[in-house]
Structure 1
């Protein structure tokens, strides 16, 4: 999985690709971390869990990233080293898309981070390319482009 930061008029964008939807969510979250801080300590901070549900993949990605920003503000940590598992509707998840994730919370006083104010729907793209499947396996690639308000 990979991500790149992209300049965006007064904001910052993350462009990411991954072989699975779960890996894509983690890559975009890693991009959010990189947009917040140039260098994250390799150690330190406790892991914490997040669960979100939404009616669509796009809404789930938005809600997940918004929750990471909320956790940063409440816990006073920079979420890093993201791990995600996305479940499509119809499985044990019921009628909603779900993400079960965890991240390492690096104390904000241990990093020099800029504030990311919010995730936006502006220009958000989440799509399957080259034959990726709707769940979490299969061949192909997933692509996302997400703009953050700084």
Structure 2
């Protein structure tokens, strides 16, 4: 499992790879938190997210949008997401901690999750995702 930031002119473009679709969604969440808050994150506080959508891309965007919303509204910074997909439904348990302005100030504000250029691909090694975070 891994993710990397790719060059983009205006936003933050992320490529994530994972052996399973569940893990890919979890990596996308970790990448979002890395962009927003940097790498100094721990756990101890959990939140659950349950959603459904008509397709994988919509499910991913809805999931990450909900993570963004919960993070901002509840003042939480997540270090990981335990994701379970069942068809076009997702159940995720997010593990994180309260926002600390001293430790979590190394990121970039993300305004939203973009459908532009979004792709989820499967090959012999697993899954790969390209996604844009609107900053």
Output the TM-score relative to the length of structure 2.
0.90
Partner of 1:125: 119
Deviation per CA, 1:103-147, whole angstroms, max 9, x where unpaired? 1232222421431110000100112112xxxxxxxxx41111110
Tell whether the 8 Å contact from 1:117 to 1:148 is kept in structure 2 after alignment: yes
Q: Which has the larger radius of gyration?
A: 1
Gaps of 5+ in 2: none
Counterpart residue number, 1:48: 47
The number of residue pairs the alignment matches comes to 132
Q: TM-score, normalised by structure 1?
A: 0.81
Distance 2:20 2:39 in 1: 26
The structure richer in strand per residue is 2
Structure 1 gaps, min length 5: 89-96, 131-139
When the two chains are superposed, the root-mean-square deviation of aligned CA atoms in Å is 1.4
**Corresponding position of 1:147:** 132
> What is the aligned partner in structure 1 of residue 38 from structure 2?
38
The 8 Å contact of residues 14 and 146 in structure 1, kept in 2 or not, is answered as yes
1:33 CA displacement: 1.1
